[in-house]
Amino acid sequence: MIPRNNGFDLTVIRQAVYTSHTLKTDAVINPLDKLPPILKKNLDRNLCVCNEVPKMDIINAIVNGATTVAEIKKQTYATMGSGCCTQQVERLIECLCAPEREE
């Protein structure tokens, strides 16, 4: 006789569905999703041309905990030239450190 559940352990299946649902709601958000489209461009290009620091290095520093221009400066050397990239660094901090929106 073939069991009604085709031999699958429904407890395991329910747990897997529950787990995948849990993972979906607890999923790690891609930090780049917080950036407006214009800031997602040229990630490998130097945002700080004075010290040749790619935008992605600055984003990584922010994602790893830097929340001020001083911390970015210490970790990446960006903004240490003429300071002409400071506003762009501030904008990245503003976007990436913004609180998550509830949906």
Residues that bind ligand FES in the complex, under the rule CB under 6 A: 48-51, 78-85
C-alpha distances in Å from residue 56, one per residue of 23, 49, 51: 27, 13, 14
Task: Provide the minimum distance between the beta carbon of 47 and ligand FES in the complex, in angstroms, as a whole number.
Answer: 7
User: What phi and psi, each to the nearest 5 degrees, are found at residue 53?
Assistant: -110, 115
Structure tokens at 19: 């787990």
Task: Provide the minimum distance between the beta carbon of 46 and ligand FES in the complex, in angstroms, as a whole number.
Answer: 8
Residue 33 near residue 40 (C-beta atoms within 8 A) = no
Shorter beta-carbon distance to ligand FES: residue 19 or 42:
42
Task: Provide the minimum distance between the beta carbon of 75 and ligand FES in the complex, in angstroms, as a whole number.
Answer: 14
Shorter beta-carbon distance to ligand FES: residue 80 or 95:
80
